[in-house]
């Protein structure tokens, strides 16, 4: 698989000048994405805090019926708000509570439970992430890019550490 360069669009966790980038395409409604997210937090946290890894989360509006409500949920995440990382954790951990709501119900639920408002200017970022996913042959979520390696939700913590350590050794 040829990996194209990614845009800066997405939620950035860590320092922009970190030598290793971990870019993941996820959907809020996908349980495998939630598993990946919490696995990544456990493994990446020390690297992010040390300035060695920047995680870029791209919320992918994947055209799949079971993920439609996740697509809608993406439009509540402000990529420029430092509090968004905490919101992402809350939304992934509460998937079962909101995952079967209608769009209108979800909007109300997010407003009442998390104080979130749907962002009006999110479509350009959404379209860019969709184009990047298509350009990088992202067929499933999560799809994770680290260097020239591509992983899915089955990546083990050991594989993550091994890949990151190998890339850091090259820098």
Report which of residues 1 and 101 the model is more confident about.
101
- Check pLDDT > 70 for residue 3: no
In the predicted model, what is the mean pLDDT of residues 22-27?
98
**Sequence-distant (≥ 6) Cβ neighbours of residue 40 within 8 angstroms:** 22, 24, 55, 144, 160
- What pLDDT digit, counting tens, does each position of 126-159 carry? 999 999 999 999 999 999 999 899 999 999 999 9
- Taking CA atoms, 49 is separated from 7, 122, 135, in Å, by 23, 29, 31
What residue segments make up the domains of the chain, in order of their start?
11-170
The answer to whether the beta carbons of residues 25 and 58 sit under 8 Å apart is yes
**CATH class of residue range 11-170:** alpha beta
Is the omega angle on the peptide bond into residue 142 within 30 degrees of 0, that is, cis?
Answer: yes
In the predicted model, what is the mean pLDDT of residues 89-96?
97
- Check pLDDT > 80 for residue 53: yes
DSSP assignment letter at 58: E
Q: What percent of the chain has pLDDT over 90?
A: 94
Query: Residue 41 — pLDDT band, cuts 50, 70, 90?
Result: very high
Of 114, 53, 60, nearest in space to 83 by CA: 114
């Amino acid at each position: 698989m040829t990996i194209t360069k990614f845009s800066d669009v997405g939620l950035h966790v860590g320092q922009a000048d970190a030598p290793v980038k971990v870019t993941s395409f996820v959907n809020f409604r996908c349980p495998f994405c939630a598993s990946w997210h919490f696995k990544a937090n456990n493994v990446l946290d020390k690297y992010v805090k040390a300035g060695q890894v920047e995680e870029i989360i791209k919320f992918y509006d994947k055209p799949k019926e079971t993920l439609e409500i996740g697509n809608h949920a993406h439009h509540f995440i402000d990529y420029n708000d430092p509090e968004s990382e905490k919101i992402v954790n809350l939304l992934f951990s509460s998937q079962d509570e909101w995952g079967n709501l209608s769009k209108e119900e979800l909007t109300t639920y997010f407003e009442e439970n998390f104080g979130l408002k749907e962002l009006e200017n999110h479509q350009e970022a959404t379209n860019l992430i969709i184009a990047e996913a298509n350009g990088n042959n992202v067929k499933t979520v999560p799809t994770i890019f680290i260097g020239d390696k591509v992983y899915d939700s089955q990546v083990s913590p050991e594989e993550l550490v091994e890949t990151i350590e190998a890339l850091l050794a090259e820098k």
